[in-house]
Amino acid sequence: MEFKNNILEQIGNTPLIKLNKINKGLKPKIFAKLESANPGGSVKDRIGLAMIEDAEKRGELKPGGTIIEATSGNTGIGLALTAAVKGYKCIFVVTDKVSQEKINYLKALGAEVIVVSRFVDPDDPEYYVNVAKRLHKEIPNSFFAYQYSNPSNPEMHYRTTGPELWRQTDGKITHFISSIGTGGTISGTGRFLKEKNPNIQVIAADPLGSIFKHYKETGELIKGTPYLVEGIGQDCLPANVHFQYIDKIYNISDKESFAAARKLTLEEGIFCGGSTGAIVNVALQVAKDCSEDDVIVFIVCDTGERYLSKMHNEEWLRQNRMLDPEIRVLRDLSDL
């Protein structure tokens, strides 16, 4: 018989998928690292497992315990998946920006979900992270995963995502393109790849309105402005963003991100969300200056299914002026 002992053994070892159409006219090979193929449908299954198992080892998470997290949904799904197998309770604090699909998914996995306003500053007690911290203080036998500074997050990518990319490309990877939410994916994977070959370029997509690009280039912290892409960019600096492993950051607008995500879906059949769209946009821009010998790998952060009522819904796109003017958006992308 051939089987896995439980669903958690299905996490990681995701495939690389070669792009064949949307990169027409560009010289390098470009591969999608299909993190959407994880059992919970996102790159965050890896850290859900790691944060729980490391907390168990440290004795911070005990039988009957409750896991608390502030999440844009995917880390919650990753934690809830491991918690379902291991028998922990979960409480997640999300903002009202998070798609209903993700909230329903969290509830289907048995989690309690608290939705708070997205329009509060990080120093406000009602900021989603502060609400999670408060719950952790109030609830006995609880563990606050805190993906923004928990070292298990980048460490898991250093241990798994980085080595997978090195092995899958026979060490030929020249550019790694990702995003920055907590910073875990880019910091851990970037560190591993740079230790193998310091010439590998580690590049991030940052939504217009987020603070990372400006901070990297000037050292100055600005106030963020709202944007629609979920799961990436911030209005404060998480400890898990290790800028020393990031060579360059591009700002990408909502419109560009959604257009690129839709193009990746429509032409390559890789069904993804808006953060992946931002990353693909950057991958194609970077590829313009590359040669035939270059090998670009980008992260597919999650599946498009969790945005069917939002960025994969034409009515929602129209209401949010994301199709306006539609022709121009599509032309922008093929101009790259």
Show the binding pattern over residues 211-250: x = contacts ligand PMP (CB under 6 A), - = does not.
Answer: -------------------xxx------------------
Interface positions, 151-210, toward ligand PMP (CB under 6 A): 179-186
* 98 scored as a contact of ligand PMP (CB under 6 A): no
Annotate 148-176 with b (16+ C-beta within 10 A) or e (fewer).
bebebbbbbbbbbbbbbbbebbeeebbbb
Residues 37-55: b if buried by 16+ CB within 10 A, e if exposed: bbbbbbbbbbbbbbbbbbb
Amino acid found at 32: A
- Residue 258 token pair: 């959604």
CB of 25 to ligand PMP, least distance (A): 28
Query: Does 132 sit near ligand PMP (CB under 6 A)?
Result: no
- Comparison of 139 and 236: residue with beta carbon closer to ligand PMP: 236
| Nearest alpha-carbon partner for 16 in 36, 29, 33 | 33
Which residues between 265 and 324 bind ligand PMP (CB under 6 A)? 273, 275, 301-302
Nearer to ligand PMP (CB atom), residue 74 or residue 281 = 74
- The answer to whether 69 contacts ligand PMP (rule: CB under 6 A) is no
Smallest distance from the beta carbon of 178 to ligand PMP, in angstroms?
7
Greatest alpha-carbon pair distance for the chain in Å reads 58
Catalytic residue, chosen from 29, 44, 102, 255, is: 44
User: Between 282 and 290, whose beta carbon lies closer to ligand PMP?
Assistant: 282
Q: What is the DSSP letter of 292?
A: T
Q: Is-contact 204 186, C-beta < 8 A?
A: yes
Nearer to ligand PMP, 142 or 178 (CB): 178
Q: What is the DSSP letter of 305?
A: G
Binding site for ligand PMP (CB under 6 A): 43-44, 72, 74, 179-186, 230-232, 273, 275, 301-302
Catalytic positions: 44
